[in-house]
Structure 1
Amino acid sequence: MNRNPRILLVEDDVIFGNTMKQHLEAAGYRVEHCHDGVEAWQEFLRTRYDICLLDIVVPKMNGFELAKEIRKKNVLVPIFFLSSEKTLDEDRISGFQLGADGYIIKPFSYNELLKRIRVILKWTRPEKKELLIGHKFGRYTYHYRKLKIYDNDSKLVVARMSPIEAKMLRYFLNRPNIIVKKDEVLLRVWGKEDFYASRSMDVFIGRIRRQLKIEPKIELETVYNVGLRLNVPEMLIPEKITVPITNTVLS
């Protein structure tokens, strides 16, 4: 049986942080609550975490600085910032450039928080069922569970994906040569279609295009005022890779 997911929570407001910890633990997660960035960094070095929830304004090492250090150590663990509505848009974009997977805007409901966590963990800790875990086409295999891209001939890893990148690649590779509306991607990948999710998506589209450059015959095209289309030659139509049910994780 899979262990319950472990969450690193960094929040200097003791009452708010303790309340978050209680709600998360009641949902079955294991939570380590740290009150400053230095304490959190030391804890991250000691323990393997499945997701990091980082308040931006914390003592000793702020959330952005902490995220930068975490990304040097681990490029795959999901990072979400706990952000106030007053956080500048430029700061949010900087967070994505540091490797964040998203923002959770205060004040938020705990149902929203739990839903966002479940969505991201379905990619990093997917349910064992008849599950699409990858696409093989051309010279490469995109493995969404391992968050890696393999060369089919050498079997070597040529690139890695973040959980959001994997989810977007899976979505587009599952719909080759079909125009997909932007709001559809926002709902499927982010679970909402607001301004901040849209700006996040713009950042990740750039990342996806860089990932796809290894196969020059395909292109993620922006169809003006309509959406996006992954252009794939007929001889390169992606082949699905699936696995059967074995067991389940926390839902």
Structure 2
Amino acid sequence: MNNNLHKNPQLSTNINKNPRILLVEDDMVYGNIVKKNLEEVGYRVEHCFDGQQGWEKFQQTRYDLCLVDIVLPKMNGFELAHEIRKKTTLTPIFFFSSERTMDGDRMGGFDLGADGYLVKPFSLPELQYRILSFLKWTRPIKTELLIGHSFGQFIFHYRKLKVYDKDITGAIGKISPTEAKVLRYFFSRPNIIIKRDELLLKVWGKDDFYSSRTMDVFLGKVRKQLKIEPRIELETIHNVGIRLNVPEDLKVEKITIPLNNSML
């Protein structure tokens, strides 16, 4: 592990209050290095040494992100992730894996709802950046109201219900209020698997059969809206959920206004 920490101010965890991380790593030395490094930049880290202890801690405390080794005593990382995902789909989970981890095992982890892998040995700055890239979506600053997303050449404006091309004057398309809700939910959580029942409750407020059929219709409409940017894909993962796939080189930015804006 590269333990050279570059004091980059962009690494400061000023996303609301200090985020809380659950670290489940049975290697005491390795885990302590990770814990100390993350605490130095402002995270609150709970370090557990086996999967059973990690699960007990998760049930007692709200965590903003989980870092889980795959090979653990008592309950392995996949089993722990399975229990976490039965409780919530919102908390990001990153697995620590070795080079020996087979591709099939990694795919199994994604099927369980993992959000990513870090292969040992990894650099600590890389770990910090990976954590921040997820927390900026799952813990947005609440002094502002999200009214749109900009991605590459295009803008979805949720208040105006319009689609814009940055090089063209005027709107190039329209979105309905429900399409705006769905787009806003996915763009606020890029590359994170969203379960169907979660989307139903957050957008429609209920998860009955009628709402489920309605959601499928709007997911089709959203996919048509997303065709303006071929690099973005709304992927349905069978028996797992739905994920908005956004490539790393395509920057997604929030368009916000202050919560005390007189227009509200």
Return the TM-score normalized by structure 1: 0.63
User: Which of 3, 20, 27 is matched with 2:41 structurally?
Assistant: 27
In structure 2, the residue matched to 1:205 is 235
In structure 2, the residue matched to 1:156 is 205
Runs (5+) with no aligned partner, structure 2: 1-14, 150-155, 162-174, 209-218, 248-253
Residue by residue, what CA displacement relative to the aligned partner does 1:95-127 show, whole Å, maximum 9, x if unpaired?
Answer: 000011111111110000000000000110123
1:15 and 2:29 correspond: yes
Q: How does 1:21-60 map to 2 (within 5 A)?
A: 21-60=35-74
In structure 2, the residue matched to 1:6 is 20
Given that residues 11 and 17 in structure 1 are in contact (C-alpha distance below 8 angstroms), is that contact kept between their aligned partners in structure 2? yes
Residue type of the partner of 1:14? Answer: M
Residue type of the partner of 1:38? Answer: Q
CA distance in 1, matches of 2:69, 2:224: 35
Q: How does 1:91-102 map to 2 (within 5 A)?
A: 91-102=105-116
CA RMSD between the two structures? 3.8
Residue by residue, what CA displacement relative to the aligned partner does 1:16-65 show, whole Å, maximum 9, x if unpaired?
Answer: 00000000000100000000000100000100000000000010000000
CA distance in 2, matches of 1:111, 1:57: 23
SS at match of 2:16: coil
In structure 2, the residue matched to 1:180 is 230
Residue type of the partner of 1:206? Answer: T
* 1:205–1:34 distance in 2 versus 1, CA, 3 Å: same
Return the TM-score normalized by structure 2: 0.60
* 1:108–1:75 distance in 2 versus 1, CA, 3 Å: same
CA distance in 1, matches of 2:129, 2:206: 32
SS at match of 1:178: coil
Residue type of the partner of 1:21? Answer: K
* 1:173–1:114 distance in 2 versus 1, CA, 3 Å: farther
Deviation of 1:245 after TM superposition, in Å, equals 3.5
1:103 and 2:117 correspond: yes
Q: How does 1:71-82 map to 2 (within 5 A)?
A: 71-82=85-96
SS at match of 2:230: strand
CA distance in 1, matches of 2:130, 2:199: 25
In structure 2, the residue matched to 1:66 is 80
CA distance in 1, matches of 2:229, 2:19: 36
Q: Which has the larger radius of gyration?
A: 2
